């Protein structure tokens, strides 16, 4: 199990097991936040605790994602999809809030959220290449 917390410890998350990879996105939000995401579905392998502030990102005029962050220390902790995916709600947590050692080997998947909204080919980088 992976455990992450914001800087002040007010918000925490757990991820059951170990993800196969992490995602770096270049969309207008993710590139500003500098986050690395790991994904699952609400109420399944990811559990989040503590009060968060929320910024709602809209696609066109429809709400698409809630970006959760700590109102005390400002760390971006997670996002929560507002549309259901086959009856389930996607959620992701910011891997940068966990300890680096156990996840350093994980490959990074790159997602072009800025122009194509599509996965990009892997380039052999892993978390340790972006973290250290």
Read off the CATH number of the domain in which 108 is found. 2.170.150.70
Q: How many domains does the chain have?
A: 1
Task: Name the token pair of 4.
Answer: 């992450």
Among residues of the chain, what percentage have pLDDT more than 90? 77
Q: Look up the domain containing 76 and give its range.
A: 2-131
Q: Residue 16: name the closest of 36, 45, 38 by CA.
A: 45
For the segment 84-130, what is each residue's pLDDT rounded down to a tens digit?
989 999 999 999 999 999 999 999 999 988 888 888 888 999 999 98
Bridge partners of 47, per DSSP, are 14
Tell me how far apart the alpha carbons of residues 93 and 76 are, in angstroms, rounded to a whole number. 9
DSSP designation for 106: P
């Amino acid at each position: 199990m992976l455990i992450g917390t914001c800087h002040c410890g007010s918000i925490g998350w757990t991820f059951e097991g170990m993800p196969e990879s992490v995602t770096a996105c270049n969309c207008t939000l993710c590139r500003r936040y500098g986050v690395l995401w790991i994904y699952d579905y609400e109420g399944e392998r990811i559990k989040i605790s503590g009060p968060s502030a929320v910024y709602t990102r809209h696609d066109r005029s429809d709400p698409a994602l809630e970006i959760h962050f700590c109102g005390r220390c400002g760390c971006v902790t997670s996002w929560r999809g507002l549309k259901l995916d086959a009856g389930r709600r996607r959620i992701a947590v910011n891997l940068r809030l966990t300890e680096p050692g156990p996840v350093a080997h994980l490959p990074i998947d790159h997602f072009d959220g800025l122009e194509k909204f599509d996965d990009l080919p892997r380039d052999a980088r892993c978390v340790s290449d972006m973290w250290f």
